[in-house]
Amino acid sequence: MNVDDAQVRISELRKKISELSEAYYTKDAPLVEDSEYDLLYRELENLEKEFPELVTKDSPTQKVGGEVLSEFSKVTHEIPMLSMGDVFSFEELEEFDQRTQKNIGKKTDYNVELKIDGLALSLIYENGELIQGSTRGDGTTGEDVTANIMTITDIPKQLTEPLNIEVRGECYMPKLSFKKLNDKRQLEGQAVFANPRNAAAGSLRQLDSNITRSRNLSTFIYTLVDAQKFGVTTQSQAIGYLNKLGFHTNPSSTTINDINEIEDYIQKYQEQRDNLDYGIDGIVLKVNNLNLQQELGNTVKVPRWEIAYKFPPEQSETKILDIEWTMGRTGVLTPTAVMEPVLLAGTTVSRATLHNAEMIKDKDIRIGDFVLLHKAGDIIPEVSKVLKNKRPKNLPETSIPINCPYCDSKLVHLEDEVALRCINPMCPAQIKEGLTHFASRNAMNIDGLGPRIVEQLFSKEMIKDVAGLYKLTFEDLLKLDGFKEKSINNLLTAIRNSKENSLERLLYGLGIRHVGAKAAKLLAEEFINMDNIINASKEEISKINTIGETIADSLQTYFSNLEAQELIKELKEANVNMTYLNSTLNLDNNEHFNGKTVVITGTLEKYKRKELSDQLDSLGAKVTGSVTKNTDILIAGLKAGSKLTKAQSLNIDIIDEDTLDSYLSDSKSAD
């Protein structure tokens, strides 16, 4: 390639990479898989090495991160937050090691860490108190996200020592939180996040910190800025010191000085990555000695003393046999690819969500196509790309439904949604999904009423809505396939018991758009009974903390519907409780937990963590995930670790399970 050809190709690559970088870093909505971006970026790097006279300051290879959004205040990083160099093969990693040893003049130790799939952030403390949190931005200037940082439970708001200090690390979204968030967004007809990194970035860069709080973000802190000021001389010491100060650090980091042991480390975590609670996309090597780091220095963009080894993408090839369209309880129609079974990241996959019609169009996915699959967030099977070179000739485009496949009503595209939605309230598919949701554990908890039973009840025309459940008789249920006396009595008992549930369960079970379990509880706590909620004004609803206008509009729209009004009337006639039961608790008598901030740590023998948290919450406690000076009680189970140590250093009241039993018994007596 001559210089003129190189100039043309470099211009093409810079334009394409800039577009992809803006989508990834600034809009948190990537257009291609990371591996595809990496190939383009590597091609540009190689061309600029071959033709250095063509390198310009505005090239993507000379920039760090993305732009700072105008909605946020700017923060200048006194010490720039640089990117890391990437390598994609073990041979390149060996070259980095050899180059580093040559520059140092001797063999060196590396601190080896996992490369977390998240968003870089900086935290600044004065006298041990958190005063500022910011994103990396373009490396020199970041975004002030302090209000949002304050909602992340594992970030200490007060350190164990009164230090003036800056630390840096990664903000990430746990895999389970990522899946729950995408499931919720898909249910509401919104675009889903492509991966946990973009989900974390989109959550941290919210103008409403309550949204950030609901996203359950976490952090791993790994950089101590000006470490020598604190007597720290190595990266491994820095990790230990950060942990001592109360930061969440990754336990997998270790010190290695043999390249073969580093290869073993890579192999270990490539095999274990699916079992981790968080996403990783490689490992990071850092020269362990901080003085040597300073000697090696940086290029304009990356440090010379560290490198990221990126795992090869875990992808499998398969063929799409069909595309099925299923209806959710909110009317969203979702496409799913049915494929030839294939092994992907340790599991056999034969189905993959296509999320919405827009994805099918954007990726041009057709029945009969050969595709590459990956797992978004190491969890959700998803189509990476279509192998168009293998596409059979004259393969027709996928037909996008115009009418609902279940009730034949015309589908609509609501404003600000990517989903196709059926808005017919009598659509049988929506009703069946709604019945299943109504009976679910977090709603009315009608044990034994799953999708198979709902399908039979509906197809045999025994019920047409949730109120019909309370009219079922023993004789009705005898007509169900495979239903015997014991099963019938158990189901009737579960239905009867559900009448006694607190208001928030019923409100959530109704499946009102945007009203999740937390919102339902807040509404129940505020208004006490169903009639008060129905009659509340939009302003009264909106003023509740974290509720807002969207939920207020949805509630008013739902309860203004004549069919909804009739449904509530029928439920009242069936003696279904319409009152918030927890409002009757005399929390003033609960001296142990009312108004207290509680942390649970270690392994509990008698309690499940979630159920205990809910119980403490109902008794007026605030259950949090990290120990701070504001913590009142630490409940310590077996193998309690750093949280116990920190609680002891802060003189926090520490109780074991026996004391917990006694406290809970006192609470029951007070009721």
Question: What CATH number is attached to the domain comprising 14?
Answer: 1.10.287.610
**pLDDT confidence tier of residue 329, bands split at 50, 70 and 90:** confident
Asked if residue 411 belongs to a domain, the reply is no
Asked if residue 604 belongs to a domain, the reply is yes
Question: Is 60 exceeded by the pLDDT of residue 583?
Answer: no
Position 62 scores a pLDDT of 75
Question: Which CATH number characterizes residue 520's domain?
Answer: 1.10.150.20
Domain that holds residue 527: 428-582
Position 2 scores a pLDDT of 82
Question: Is 80 exceeded by the pLDDT of residue 261?
Answer: yes
Asked if residue 413 belongs to a domain, the reply is no
Average pLDDT value over all residues in the chain = 86
Please give the tally of structural domains in the chain.
5
Query: Looking at the structure, do residues 594 and 654 belong to the same domain, yes or no?
Result: yes
Question: Which CATH number characterizes residue 376's domain?
Answer: 2.40.50.140
Pair of tokens at residue 494: 């579960």
Pair of tokens at residue 314: 């875990």
pLDDT tens column, 534-575: 999 999 998 887 788 888 988 988 898 888 899 999 999 999
Residue pair 491/466 in contact by the 8 Å Cβ criterion: no
Residue at a domain's end among 390, 419, 441: 390
Share of residues in the chain with pLDDT > 90 (%): 42
**pLDDT confidence tier of residue 346, bands split at 50, 70 and 90:** low
Query: Looking at the structure, do residues 226 and 99 belong to the same domain, yes or no?
Result: yes
Pair of tokens at residue 354: 């296509």
Position 386 scores a pLDDT of 94
Question: Which CATH number characterizes residue 202's domain?
Answer: 3.30.470.30
Rounded to an integer, the average pLDDT of 398-403 is 94
Rounded to an integer, the average pLDDT of 269-275 is 86
Q: Locate tokens 């995408």: which residue?
A: 182
Give the C-alpha separation, 577 to 612, whole Å. 24
Rounded to an integer, the average pLDDT of 476-485 is 87
Asked if residue 402 belongs to a domain, the reply is no
Position 29 scores a pLDDT of 66
**pLDDT confidence tier of residue 68, bands split at 50, 70 and 90:** low
Query: Looking at the structure, do residues 254 and 346 belong to the same domain, yes or no?
Result: no
Question: Is 50 exceeded by the pLDDT of residue 286?
Answer: yes
pLDDT tens column, 84-99: 888 988 999 999 999 9
Rounded to an integer, the average pLDDT of 478-491 is 88
For the ranges 11-20, 391-400, 594-603, the maximum mean pLDDT occurs at 391-400
Query: Looking at the structure, do residues 498 and 599 belong to the same domain, yes or no?
Result: no
Position 586 scores a pLDDT of 42
Query: What type of residue sits at position 596?
Result: K
Asked if residue 113 belongs to a domain, the reply is yes
Query: Looking at the structure, do residues 161 and 281 belong to the same domain, yes or no?
Result: yes
Comparing CA positions, the residue from 169, 137, 151 lying closest to residue 73 is 137
**Pick from 95-104, 332-341, 393-402, 588-597: least confident:** 588-597
Residue at a domain's end among 341, 363, 390: 390
Question: Is 80 exceeded by the pLDDT of residue 517?
Answer: yes
- Contacts of residue 528, defined as CB under 8 A and 6 or more positions apart, other chains included, come to 503, 579, 580, 583
Position 589 scores a pLDDT of 47
pLDDT tens column, 166-190: 999 999 999 888 888 888 888 777 8
Rounded to an integer, the average pLDDT of 352-358 is 89
Active site residue 115: yes
pLDDT tens column, 639-651: 777 788 888 888 8
**pLDDT confidence tier of residue 26, bands split at 50, 70 and 90:** low
Query: Looking at the structure, do residues 528 and 541 belong to the same domain, yes or no?
Result: yes
Question: Is 80 exceeded by the pLDDT of residue 591?
Answer: no
Query: Looking at the structure, do residues 126 and 224 belong to the same domain, yes or no?
Result: yes
Query: Looking at the structure, do residues 554 and 600 belong to the same domain, yes or no?
Result: no
**pLDDT confidence tier of residue 67, bands split at 50, 70 and 90:** low
What's the pTM value of the predicted model, to 2 decimals?
0.58
Give the C-alpha separation, 155 to 221, whole Å. 9
Question: Which CATH number characterizes residue 631's domain?
Answer: 3.40.50.10190
Query: Looking at the structure, do residues 202 and 227 belong to the same domain, yes or no?
Result: yes
Question: Is 50 exceeded by the pLDDT of residue 670?
Answer: no
Rounded to an integer, the average pLDDT of 322-344 is 90
Asked if residue 226 belongs to a domain, the reply is yes
Burial class (CB in 10 A: 0-12, 13-18, 19+), 129: middle
Q: Where are the alpha helices (DSSP H) in 528-561?
A: 530-535, 538-542, 548-559
Query: Looking at the structure, do residues 627 and 658 belong to the same domain, yes or no?
Result: yes
- Contacts of residue 527, defined as CB under 8 A and 6 or more positions apart, other chains included, come to 533, 536, 580
Q: Determine the distance from the C-alpha atom of residue 12 to the mean position of all C-alpha atoms in its chain, rounded to a whole number.
A: 35
Question: Is 60 exceeded by the pLDDT of residue 368?
Answer: yes
Angle, CA of 46, 52 and 53, to the nearest 5°: 140
Give the side-chain half-sphere CA count within 13 A for 5: 3
Give the side-chain half-sphere CA count within 13 A for 545: 5
Query: Looking at the structure, do residues 241 and 158 belong to the same domain, yes or no?
Result: yes
Q: Which of 63, 115, 521, 646 is catalytic?
A: 115
Asked if residue 410 belongs to a domain, the reply is no
Give the C-alpha separation, 611 to 441, whole Å. 13
What are the CA-CA distances from residue 191 to residues 9, 199, 215 (Å)?
33, 11, 16
Asked if residue 618 belongs to a domain, the reply is yes
